Amino acid sequence: MFKGHPKGLLAAALANMGERFGFYVMMAILVLFIQAKFGLDGTNTGYIYGAFYALIYLLALVGGLIADKTRNYKGTILTGLFIMTVGYFLLSIPTEASTMNLVLACASLFVIAFGNGLFKGNLQALVGQMYDNPEYKDKRDSGFSIFYMFINVGAIFAPIFAIGVRNWWLEKNGFQYNADLPALCHSFKNNTITADAMTSLQNLANQVSGSNVTDMSAFVTQYLDVFSTGFHYAFATAIFALLISITIFIINKKFFPDPKSKHAAASSDNIEMDAHEVKQRLYALLAVFAVVIFFWFSFHQNGLTLTFFARDYTDLSSIKLNLGIINIQGAELFQSINPFFVVFLTPIILALFGWLRSKGIEPSTPKKIAIGMLIAALAYVVMVIGSLDLPAFESINPAKGGTPLDAAAKATPFLLIFTYFILTVAELFISPLGLSFVSKVAPPQYQGLMQGGWLGATALGNQLLFFGAIFYESISLSATWAIFVVACLISMFTMLFMLKWLERIAK
């Protein structure tokens, strides 16, 4: 698979695994942690989640600017890894549930986002610089796809470790996991619980405690404390992954291009561009950045509304893995599905593109991105159909006097699994190829900044994520998913409208 590719490609992918591990720990548990610990509703949780993910990508612009100005990509990347490690350490410290500690948790998220900003875009720029060498230039698309596949290996295991640590802590304190209990506990504390919901709370409390609960106030306080502390310890798993990435990066630095050296400077400047061509390339990149905002607004619902759906509407009783010392069960487990499919499907997608190339009919990179947006729309069509018979969230929300659904009334896990399968195919048509397109089209002097620009567009899409939480809590589920179908189709038709221009620029 790595034959004919630069030596530094595998090392870069392995160094990126720690960041992906932490990213998917966050994807799996962040919104559930915020709601379980601080009792926020979906909309306010969505504000925090969207802002955090927006900052992760927006600060990549800052990181790209720093690296471009200093030409010290390696040093900037390494600094980012260390700062992310500090952020996860701060978030792993258990605290009481208070407004001040919510502020401190958000500050920890900012530290992680800043470190990610220094790291993410610049490592991608380094990978792009490897393919500036004429020897590897024709393998740029496949190189980024391989890079994207390998960095997701760490992401497969992140939710599993996070769930394992959280559930281990629950069991150590004499409790079992239940997805519905945190919301019911907060409803009890806020005196908004109905008689039916109180019956459900009592039954679940007895079930997870293994005995009859007589002091519900004490149970509610203790369960929420243990539940959220388990999440704190789950964040600590990212620290170990990042330390491994730091070690790999330091050992393999010699395999990465160095823009400060004369050889690298000559390599990246070997194509002279006049001011007009530079402007045209920048305009093309900015146009693509604007379009993908709508895609990321839809795709990154996997850590927000799709995670809410896994918790509130998906039958989790059949998804349980007993490893002896820990039980792997929880809505968070679905976040392992996307990276698993990335690793599993990437060789297949690469083989498909290779076959099309051999026949002379391989689509251009911009056309692949447009196709990916259509595929993403189809994923949400599946969710629309699968949610037609499910009640609106307001009717089952304990905070609004509702009662969680019984397992028999919930959707099969295969609905989300199939949706994630389709979304992953879409992602493989868009994300790695988008990175490849940026590295190919960006003028040499703006490589880091334009990789940051791609991530900045992702940031704007992420900043809109909270609208998904608003829709989830206020309109029917099918109508919510239909909005994302429309957003993906808008992206697709806009890309097709610009297709000829983008293909001309990319040449």
Structural domain boundaries in the chain: 8-255+275-506
Is the pLDDT at 264 greater than 50, yes or no?
Answer: no
In this structure, of 57-71, 161-175, 391-405, 469-483, the range with the lowest mean pLDDT score is 57-71
Q: How far apart are CA 454 and CA 58, in angstroms?
A: 9
Q: How far apart are CA 125 and CA 182, in angstroms?
A: 42
Q: Which amino acid is at 158?
A: A
Measured between alpha carbons, how far apart are the two ends of the chain, in Å? 26
Q: Which pLDDT score is estimated for 173?
A: 94
Provide, for the chain, the percentages of residues in helix, strand and coil under a 3-state DSSP scheme, each rounded to the nearest 5: 80, 0, 20
Find tokens 């390696």 and name the residue.
Answer: 74
Give percent of the chain above pLDDT 90: 44
Q: Residue 179, Cβ neighbours under 10 Å: how many?
A: 19
Question: In this structure, are residues 392 and 475 in contact, taking their beta carbons and an 8 Å threshold?
Answer: yes
Helix extents (H) in 397-476: 413-441, 447-463, 466-474
The band of 269, judged by pLDDT with boundaries at 50, 70 and 90, is very low
Is the pLDDT at 271 greater than 60, yes or no?
Answer: no
Average pLDDT over the chain reads 87
pTM value is 0.81
Q: What mean pLDDT do residues 453-471 have?
A: 87
The band of 262, judged by pLDDT with boundaries at 50, 70 and 90, is very low
Q: Which pLDDT score is estimated for 2?
A: 63
Q: Which amino acid is at 342?
A: V
CA 499 from chain center: how many Å? 28
Tokens at 101, concatenated: 């500690």
The DSSP letter of residue 212 is -
Q: What mean pLDDT do residues 382-411 have?
A: 91
- What are the tens digits of pLDDT across the range 428-443? 888 777 877 887 888 8
Q: Which pLDDT score is estimated for 198?
A: 94
Tokens at 162, concatenated: 């996070």
Is the pLDDT at 150 greater than 90, yes or no?
Answer: no
CATH hierarchy code of domain 8-255+275-506 = 1.20.1250.20
Q: Which amino acid is at 155?
A: A
Is the pLDDT at 112 greater than 90, yes or no?
Answer: yes
Q: Which pLDDT score is estimated for 267?
A: 45
Is residue 314 classed as helix, strand or coil in its secondary structure? strand
Q: Which pLDDT score is estimated for 263?
A: 44
Q: What mean pLDDT do residues 99-103 have?
A: 95
Is residue 495 classed as helix, strand or coil in its secondary structure? helix
CA 302 from chain center: how many Å? 7
Is the pLDDT at 391 greater than 90, yes or no?
Answer: yes
Q: What mean pLDDT do residues 209-215 have?
A: 91
